[in-house]
Amino acid sequence: MHINELSKILNQYFNFHKARSDCLAQLVIGMISVKTVNFTHLATAFITKSFPESCYKRIQRFFRFLKFDPLAIASMVISLFDLKNKKLTLALDRTNWKFGRIDINILMLTVAHKGMALPLMWSCLKKRGNSNTLERIHLIKRILLLIGPKNIDCLLGDREFVGAEWIQWLDDQGISFLFRIRNNSLLEEVLPVEAFFRRLPFGKKVKNAKTFLWGKSVYLSTRRSYKKDELVTLISNRKFQNPFKRYRKRWEIETFFGCLKKRGFCFEDTHLIHISRLEKLVFVLTVAFCWSHLVGESKEEEIPIKTKSHARKAKSTFRYGFDELRGIFLRVTEKFEAFMRCLKLLIISDPIEGV
């Protein structure tokens, strides 16, 4: 019964036929229940009278034939977390690992939300190493079909996401950015950053200084890190009141990657190597992740997460909801009312088509 209920609700976003929607619901519940994306374990978690071998083949068919709309999943995230018509802080990053000799390399665009990044768009790269300008532009163009530049407060990125053509394109689109740059980058086409600020003392900051980098006029902010004794240098195309505080939000995407991996779904356990199927797996993970986070937010309103002596929460909001859902799924007959309350968090009255 609960599979049918979840399937119906998910179809308000994706409009799959019933068999595919039911399989999606089984996968979402399975990934949360067994804490892995490994097909063998997921097959044993399917709530059905079929043998695990049959469920395994069903999962394989799902990822072979599924077609999903990237804008539909991004629209779901924006709707569920009430981000419509709000200024969004976006972050761009990659996660990568090796499966045998195969490189798994995923470029991810997320939105910052209450200390956690939420996935919006992603692309599996057919190579190892850094993304290039065209790959980044393609990803941003896809999200611009759903949200306009006026709704992007800032795009954050680490030292990989730099280059004259890239920042020029963002500037032409009217997208504000804040990127960290390497300390060997040449300022004013003369001196590297490290040499330019070699006498900058600890605790001293340079904020929003106008300079030229790669032939482009940018605002530069830098400070020397106490922990690693290195310069942290940021560039932007507009002045930010507190660029370093804002840039710290980029860490939220690293936290999100951790939730997909060992702290949640053990993403690296997948044996998928085809790019299209990996992107479909991230689609299912996004549904499971967002539901877990929503349940965590709802539960935290009733019972706040305990704070440890170092003033940090004992667990993340995502993990709070993730553990709650797992407990419900393992005793769903006894906790059917709790399941239905969690299910209602996925219901929205007006799915968006644009922001």
Contact, 272 vs 102, CB < 8 A?
no
Is the pLDDT assigned to residue 352 strictly greater than 70? no
Q: Which domain holds residue 6?
A: 2-68+273-344
pLDDT for res 353: 53
Q: H helices within 127-250, ranges in order?
A: 133-144, 164-173, 193-196, 243-247
Sheet with 186-187, edge to edge strand ranges: 116-124, 102-113, 88-99, 152-157, 177-180, 231-236, 216-224, 205-213, 186-187, 191-192
The mean pLDDT of 231-260, rounded to a whole number, is 94
- Helix/strand/coil for 216: strand
100 located within any domain: no
Residue 217's pLDDT band, with cuts at 50, 70 and 90, is: very high
Q: How far is CA 276 from CA 20, 123, 187, 273, in A?
A: 17, 9, 41, 9
Length reported for the chain: 355
102 located within any domain: no
252 or 205: whose pLDDT is higher? 252
d(CA 177, CA 314): 33
pLDDT for res 306: 86
pLDDT for res 351: 54
- What's the token pair of residue 192? 């590297």
Contact, 75 vs 146, CB < 8 A?
yes
148 located within any domain: no
93 located within any domain: no
Count of domains in the chain?
Answer: 2
**Same domain for 225 and 284?**
no
294 located within any domain: yes
**Same domain for 229 and 284?**
no
Is the pLDDT assigned to residue 230 strictly greater than 90? no
Residue 225's pLDDT band, with cuts at 50, 70 and 90, is: confident
53 located within any domain: yes
Is the pLDDT assigned to residue 246 strictly greater than 70? yes
Count other Cβ atoms within 10 Å, centred on residue 216.
Answer: 15
52: buried, middle or exposed (CB in 10 Å: 19+, 13-18, 0-12)? middle
b (16+ CB within 10 A) / e for 93-118: bbbeeeeeeeebbbbbbbbbbeebbb
pLDDT for res 355: 45
140 located within any domain: no
